[in-house]
Each structure stands twice: as structure tokens, then as C-alpha cells.
Structure 1
Amino acid sequence: MDMNERKDFEVIIIGGSYAGLSAAMALGRSLRKVLVIDSGNPCNKQTPHSHNFLTQDGSTPQEISKIAKYQVLKYDSIKFYEGLAISGKRINEGFEISASNGDVFASKKLVLATGIKDQIHYIKGFLDCWGISIIHCPYCHGYEHKAVRTAILANGEKAFHLASLVNNLTNDLTILTSGKMDFNEEQLKKFDKHDIEVIEKEVVEVEHLNGHIEKVIFNDGTKENFKTVYANVPFEQHSNLPKELGCKFTEHGYIEVDFMHKTSEEDIFACGDNSSMMRSVATAVYGGNITGAAINKELTEENF
């Protein structure tokens, strides 16, 4: 966009993936002047297909984003800016956001749809398989990986929870704790009941072919064949802006929001993976839609 047109908006949305574009569409349909700032680096860029999203089941993330952006930009009051928002501050009439190349924008309301960043395990071959055959969610990808020899790379409560879900998708399931197991007696009895093996040896490498797992290698040199691995991967906020602007976070590291996606800071909203444990395209789109409606309601009440 030509920033000589206008630098002041009613709403700035930082993040132009599913949640951000969904919020933009809701606002654009009410003729709100909206700027979407996006750096083009979504967390699911390596995932080959998106699932469990009605009308788009099996589409690539890129296909869904392309259609979404095309439809959103049909609304004349919405502008799209390709760039990285690096800082933000509160001003008298709202907020001022600065981009990495020096451009500065202002708005009355702010939406943080900035996403999260996975902290990939330091295991050789892991990153190459992430989103392809090493996956995080049985709802998003489990059906495509059903009825094969499957591992869960996790420990404790997180491993137990995943095992309870994945057990319905395969009869050949193993938990890789990569260290001393952390399960209570009742959990171990459940594993025994469902023939779920627990291996405590440290995982040091994943052998694969173009991202498709063939073997998991342990620190003693032994190997196990698996077709799919579920991994509990820690994350961090993709942007420092929520913290810089004073937003509160939950104990799990998500931006704290209410049912209308309002953060702890007045006039700042958040939607998508940065504020929801339900990490999926469908949830992001839903959250963005609610966010857009909530902001439009506030703007209407302020101006009417």
C-alpha cells in the first residue's frame, strides 16, 4: 500500500494470518478503517495440509491464507501492509505502531494477532519433520496419521493426556519420555491396560526422508521405527509487543483475554494462537470474528 494515502486508522491489526484477517473482515463489513500489518512468517508455514476446518479440509495453509487475503481486501476500507511491527505505544487518541523500516501508524483500537513461535527441540532431524510427521495435535492431523506405529515425545501429565487421545487412532503407541518417566501408579496402569510402552532413553536424532520419519535414535545407539511422533513443544510469544504494551499473561504464557477477546489493557484485543490453547485454523478464524464484532460495538458506542 502507498502510505501517503493515510496513516491514521480506526483499528490496526498486527498479524495477517487467519485470526487477523478474520477480524479485519468483520470490521471491513462495517466500513471501519483498518490496517493489517503482516510480516509473512506464520508458524504453520511447513505444515503441508490443514484439516478439521469446514469447507477447507485438506487445503494447504497457503491456499487458505491466499483466499482469505483476496476476500478481505475486497473491502475498500481495509489496507494491508507487508512489514514487521517492532514497537508500539499508547498515545492520547489510541496507539502508535512503528514498523521496521520506519513507517509509523496510529489507531484508536489495536488487535494483537501476532501468533506464537515454537521452541523446537534440539534433536537432529526434528525441525525437518515438524508439521509433517512430527505433529502437535490429534484433532488437526491425527486422522491422516491413524493406524500406524506412533510415538509421543513428552512426559508427565502432557504425555498422559496426549496418549488418551491418540490411543483412539492407533493400536501401536509408545511414549518416549527422553529421560526418567514422571507418571503415577494409576497412569502406569492405564498404559499397561492399553499396551502402551514407555521408553525412558534419551532421543538424540530422528532419521527421515524429506520430513517423513523412518526411525528414532536413542543415546545408546538403539533405534525404533515410527511413522508418526506427537511432540509437546514449548512456545514463546512471536512478538514482544503484547509485553511492551502491558498486557497480562496466563500461567501458560498466553495473552490473557476475556470472552470478547479484550486484554487487560483498554482498547487492546488479542486473538489467535497468542491467546488460545486451542491451536487450530478454525479456532483462530472464530476468535478473529468475535474480536472484530467486539471492536465494532465499542467504536459504535463511542461515536453514536
Structure 2
Amino acid sequence: MEANFDAIIIGGSYAGLSAAMALGRALRKVLVLDAGKPANRQTPHAHNFITHDGETPAAISAKAKEQVLEYPTITFKTGTAINALQQDGLFIIETDGEETYTGRKLLFATGIVDVMPDIAGTAECWGISVLHCPYCHGYEVRNRPTAILANGDIGFEFSKIITNWTQEITLLTNGPSTLKEEQIAELEKHNITINPKPIKSISHEDGYMNNICFEDGSNLKLTVMYAKLPFIQTCPLLQTLGCEFTDAGFIKIDEMQATTVKGVYAAGDNTTMMRSVPSAVAQGNKAGAMINHQLVNEDF
């Protein structure tokens, strides 16, 4: 069996496109397969990315795709990978469009899926006024009364971080607090309110929240909330191939962006809690270079 491509990249957002550019400039024949559902598709503006600060995520991605496709060895296909297997030292990818591709190396730049809580309005506000990262969005909502949806150790640590951007913080545990007594004392010392009331819904207009409604009928009026939500991996094919994961649920990689399965690499949000556009771009660039380096060593 002969490979159609030197590398197949599953996921054509920031990490995937960055890897594709590195490989295209290394004269490698590459397929980028993208389902077209980036995690930040609702986010109005991307920040903390020099030369692109304040642009829409879609504009950054579109420009990246345009530049990547200037390299003639790069092929971009819209579709979802539904099956993956190894055969004769190659990777075989099948898509929902009943297409089959073979590649020598495989890169997962598939991101993660945030699991929304059972709180009406959260999904509509996610990435707009319910935020995941203060480094990405904290400057724009600085000094506002702010809620944090979290509990336990995560809630405590995240509350500490957010004090850098605002001193008016309410920690919403959405049920009984699991904070330790010493953590509660520290939060109270910094005037952080702990509210254990179960949340019913988030009132909003086009994703911009204006009120948090609790199950007991009370309300908390504010315009911004951070949330530490659980996640799942977007692509189940990592398990199919036998890739290992960290205790936190990320793909286990080494310093070369290589997974625990030989020939399979990963980059972007699916590998790290450092979840941002510049981080994904950096990981993708490194993964592309490492894949080319491995190909060179195999062929020399």
C-alpha cells in the first residue's frame, strides 16, 4: 500500500493550519481534514495574539487557511474522520463522505468539547459573556462585578487568579460548597462572596448575560461570568488508535508533540489546559516541524 500523503491532519483550525504551513514549507504532501466546528465559533473577538489582537476568530482562521493553501502540496477537505486504523506502517482514515485517505503520519488537532451544565442560557453565552480564560478575555471585562462558576480546589484557585482583573467577585458553587475551611477563610479575607444556591438559568440578550437566576427565585445582576467546565475529546479516534490520556483528560504527548502511539501526533486544546489561539498556533508549528523531522530520519 502506498501513502496518499506524508501526513494527514485531522482538524483545520489554528493548530492544524499552523502544522500544515510548517509541513507545506517543508515540501510535504499534506491533507487537512476539517469538520468546520471550531470551539470558539461563538467568540466575538480573539485576544492576546500579537498582530491579530481583537480580530474575530473566523477572520484569523480564514486568513490562515488562505495563506496555507498557497503551498501547492497542501490539500484541504471539509469532512469528519469517522474511522482510523494502521496497516502496513500507514494510517488509513475514513470520512463521513465515504472517502478514504492514507498517510505516513497522523496529527490530531481536533480540540475539545465543553460540556455545558444544566443551566439554561449557558451555551448561548459561552465564549461571549460566560468565559473560560482571563488571559483571552479578562482585559475587556476588567473591574466589573464578576461571577465564577466553579467549586472546590478549582473554584479557589480560579478565584485567586481573577482577583488580578477585578475585586468584585462572587464564587457560585451551584450547590453545596466543597471548599476547605481554610480556603473559605482566604476567600472571605479577600472579600470574595461564596454563593451555594443552585442556578436555574442565565438571562441574556444575544449571548450577553445580564442576570443569573437561582432556583429559589433570587437573582444576581451582572454581565460577566467565568466558568470552569468539564470537557470531552472531540475525536473518538484517539481511543481507537490506542492513544493514552492524562488524568485530566488531555492527550498524553512528549516534547515532540508525539502521542504514545508511534506516528501519531497531537497539538492544540486537546493536549493542554493552556487553551488559547497563540498556544494552539505554537503547538501546531512545532508538531509540523517534528513530523517532518521524523520523516527525514526515516527516509535518510
TM-score when normalising by structure 2: 0.98
- CA–CA distance in structure 2, aligned partners of residues 157 and 58 of structure 1: 32
- CA–CA distance in structure 2, aligned partners of residues 27 and 34 of structure 1: 7
Moved more, 126-135 or 181-190: 181-190
- CA–CA distance in structure 2, aligned partners of residues 105 and 154 of structure 1: 43
What does residue 32 of structure 1 align with? 28
What is the CA deviation profile of residues 217-255 of structure 1, one whole-angstrom value per residue up to 9, with x for unaligned ones? 111100111111111111101011111111001111111
What does residue 3 of structure 1 align with? none
What is the CA deviation profile of residues 157-178 of structure 1, one whole-angstrom value per residue up to 9, with x for unaligned ones? 1111111111111121100101
**AA at the equivalent of 2:99:** D
For 2:78, which of 79, 82, 91 is the aligned residue?
A: 82
Seq. identity, % = 47
- CA–CA distance in structure 2, aligned partners of residues 235 and 206 of structure 1: 20
What does residue 204 of structure 2 align with? 208
What is the 5 A alignment of 1:217-296?
A: 217-296=213-292
Per-residue deviation, 1:93? 3.1
- On the 8 A contact 2:253/2:271 being kept in 1, the answer is yes
- CA–CA distance in structure 1, aligned partners of residues 189 and 50 of structure 2: 35
- On the 8 A contact 1:13/1:37 being kept in 2, the answer is yes
Per-residue deviation, 1:121? 1.2
What SS does the aligned partner of 1:216 have? Answer: strand
What is the CA deviation profile of residues 130-179 of structure 1, one whole-angstrom value per residue up to 9, with x for unaligned ones? 11100011111111111111000110111111111111111211001011
- C-alpha RMSD of matched pairs (Å): 1.1
Structure 2 regions of 5+ residues with no counterpart? none
Per-residue deviation, 1:59? 0.6
Alignment pair present for 1:140 and 2:136: yes
What SS does the aligned partner of 2:212 have? Answer: strand
- CA–CA distance in structure 1, aligned partners of residues 35 and 181 of structure 2: 48
Per-residue deviation, 1:259? 0.9
Structure 1 regions of 5+ residues with no counterpart? 1-5
Per-residue deviation, 1:185? 2.4
Q: How many residues align?
A: 299
Per-residue deviation, 1:9? 0.5
- CA–CA distance in structure 2, aligned partners of residues 55 and 212 of structure 1: 27
Structure 1 runs of 4+ with >2 Å offset: none
- CA–CA distance in structure 1, aligned partners of residues 257 and 233 of structure 2: 17
**AA at the equivalent of 2:284:** G
What is the CA deviation profile of residues 85-114 of structure 1, one whole-angstrom value per residue up to 9, with x for unaligned ones? 110000103110001111100011000111
What SS does the aligned partner of 1:179 have? Answer: coil
For 1:57, which of 53, 59, 65 is the aligned residue?
A: 53
- CA–CA distance in structure 1, aligned partners of residues 122 and 9 of structure 2: 33
